[in-house]
Chains A and B, each alone.
Chain A
């Protein structure tokens, strides 16, 4: 669940495919979700190339500043 909490990721936008892999890795759940995943892929709804926003380095800067402030 850590991955989910640290959204938005470095690219600035949530990427469902990666979140499933990285943040919710449970072999049984992944097994169950494969048909759904294939369906989404076939319907062009799981883009392989992640969306990256302009100024995405600011996401990291915000996190760093908050960390500093919260000690």
Chain B
């Protein structure tokens, strides 16, 4: 199947391993990604902080560019996912705002697509289009015995634009099972707040306490690895882990991987093509039985 894909701020910056692993996994699954050039930040940092019009215009510019490709857009960033869906929903119900946004976009020779653009999360696409059966057939090295905690992060279901109800989040669990991994449930913290923008979180203490809960629950339940479908959630839990250890006197060493990284490992994709060395908490030791070429870094 063909999809429009645009690298997000995070997957072309602080979470560049997200872009790399997403492309590698999509290729292995036969998903055709048409990269849309020129997409800007989706507007999420503005969301709720600056005027709605400004945030909507930046989101609408992306939607207008994506519409040209004629495909659904797929993103692995939960922030982009909710922001673009929020823009679609807001502009479809508010005619006045839609008129203003169209006026702004006309200044740069773009039209907001009247029916919006279908924006989909990679996780949802994996379940509904690709299907877990197909994922299973691509697996070269089943993750048998690997205890994986699925951490969805807070954004994927927020604002009502999520693809699943918070109480029945199972998509990630299903993919992990398709890879042969053992799901370690996080009933209390699977959608716990992750702190949002990794280096900018305004409420660092609250963010760290929140992440501590996820790590504690994962460790208590016996997880060896945490997997997140969102680059923000993964980045926060990964890069702040040493800081959490220092502040709270803990000794966590729980590798936190992106969904696409763990899928790539099961698909037999080389660690360098998944950018595993970019993870701050090294996953090499834990994943060594499953890696095709294990190069310790």
Residues of A whose CB lies within 8 Å of any CB of B are: 1, 4-8, 12-17, 19-20, 23-24, 29, 33, 35-37, 39-40, 43-47, 51, 53-56, 58-59, 61-66, 69-70
Interface string of B190-217 (1 = CB under 8 A from A): 0000000111101010000000000000
In the complex, how many residues of chain B place their beta carbon closer than 8 angstroms to a beta carbon of chain A? 44
Partner of A53, one of B39, B46, B105, B108: B39
CB-defined contacts of B279 to chain A, threshold 8 Å? 43
Contact: A13 with B40, CB < 8 Å? Answer: yes
B72 contacts the other chain (Cβ, under 8 Å)?
no
Partner of B54, one of A14, A54, A56, A63: A63
Residues of B whose CB lies within 8 Å of any CB of A are: 9-10, 12-17, 37-41, 43, 45-46, 49-51, 53-54, 57-58, 61, 100, 103-105, 107-108, 197-200, 202, 204, 239-240, 242-243, 277-280
Contact: B53 with A66, CB < 8 Å? Answer: yes
CB-defined contacts of A46 to chain B, threshold 8 Å? 14
Contact: A45 with B278, CB < 8 Å? Answer: yes
A23 to B104 alpha-carbon distance, docked (Å): 27
Q: Contacts A23-B200, A62-B58, A66-B51 given: A40-B40 contact, CB under 8 Å? A: no
A36 to B39 alpha-carbon distance, docked (Å): 29
